[in-house]
Structure 1
Amino acid sequence: MIKNKWKIGFFILLGVMAAAILLIWILIASPVEESKLEPGTNGSGTNDVAFNVSTNKRDLNRVINHYLEEEAKNSQMDYQVLLTDEVELYGTLPLFSQELELKLTFEPQALKNGDLILKQRSISVGKLNLPVSTVLKFVRDSYDLPDAVNIQPKEERVYVSMHRLKLKSDIKVRVNEFDLKKDNIKFTLLVPAD
């Protein structure tokens, strides 16, 4: 009878060990459970990844002027932007055999769709102040500006369509805030994730 108890105990222990090994094997061989978090969108219906950026006038001046240099390589117009309490655009206009100095000042306004409106404050050629709509029409008709820049002489403004700016790697920009007086400039970079 003692032999049977040991025999029964041995087979029970062997069965428990076999069940444990089988359970461990099932757990190891089972596929990994995937996360319930699915890749989403940024709210705009695209798979772009949004990065919120806050900057200041000095740094943005450098970026804007670098971009303008790249865009102006094939253009006859030489211009640069300076952000102060307003947006100031300085350039030269070729007229006959002379280069005339040009200064345009704008008040920026960020739109809810991420674009930017530059409301014209003043235009001067040399020291002569000129009618805003006339000069804007001349600039629009005479110069090859980036596709994202739409000059609207009747409204005395420039509409900058940020989503049409051609940036490297198809990155898009949305302006959130553009308060130059407080040096508060915020925008979102939308980076394609596909």
Structure 2
Amino acid sequence: MKNKWKMSFLILMVINLLTAIILFSLIVSPASSPDIPAKKGSNRDYVSFHVKSNKYDLNRLINHYLEQEVEDSPIDYRVVLNDEVELYGILPVFSDKINMKLTFEPEALKNGDLVLKQKSMSIGSLRVPISYVLSFIKENYKLPRGVEIRPSDKLIYVHMQELKLKSDMKIEAEQFDLKKNKISFTILVPVK
């Protein structure tokens, strides 16, 4: 009977000793950090965040951005989002000022850029060809970097990732449906 107790005690002591050694080695050994897998085809220098917005908030953001980016433009203009994108401006003609309104139908492209297709136009009571007005705007308005006016195609192309944002962030348009007030973007934040 004494040998059974001795043997049981020795087995229990060996199990406790092995458990202590294993726990000690796990505590002392450096932890390996798991690799965070990147999405296929994604840029590893950026982390993406998906943002949904509405017309009201986006109106405020766009016009704040325009004030910061084009404050020394000789022509005053602003953008309003309703069921379409509306560009209001004042054209100086001699000593007079003429009101201008252009409306565009927005379309988010698969590459994250945004196309504004010309829908309608009014410049005072004048009838002027759309391509002429877009050419005039292109030559006389100071536009933000990344905004390209294509008069012959009657559209404005917004290279979203070229827009100058703080902290080198980039932005991609996912959905831009103004009639349903469904607006979403992907914001790319640099991590390197």
- Scaled by the length of structure 1, the TM-score of the pair is 0.85
Query: Which sections of structure 2, spanning at least 5 residues, go unmatched?
Result: none
SS in 2 for 1:88: strand
**Is the Cα contact below 8 Å between 1:123 and 1:131 reproduced in 2?**
no
What's the % identity of the aligned pairs?
Answer: 52
Indicate the residue corresponding to 1:112 in structure 2.
110
- Partners of 2:177 and 2:95 lie apart in 1 by 39
| Amino acid in the other structure paired with 1:28 | I
Structure of higher CA gyration radius: 1
Distance in structure 1 (CA, Å) of the matches to 2:103 and 2:50: 27
| Structure 1 stretches lacking a partner, 5+ long | none
Asked if the contact 1:115–1:163 (Cα under 8 Å) also holds between the matched residues in 2, the reply is yes
TM-score by length of 2: 0.86
Secondary structure class of the residue paired with 1:154: helix
Whole-Å separation in 2 of the counterparts to 1:8 and 1:54: 69
Match of 2:30 in 1: 31
After superposition, residues 81-120 of structure 1 pair within 5 angstroms as 81-120=79-118
Task: Within 5 Å, give how 1:42-191 maps onto structure 2.
Answer: 43-191=41-189
Q: One-letter code of the match for 2:26?
A: L
Residues 51 and 138 (structure 1), Cα distance of their counterparts in 2 relative to 1, 3 Å cut = same
How far is 1:151 from its partner? 0.6
Residue 61 to residue 29, structure 1, CA distance change in 2 (3 Å): same
Task: Report if aligned partners of 2:75, 2:140 keep a CA contact under 8 Å in 1.
Answer: no
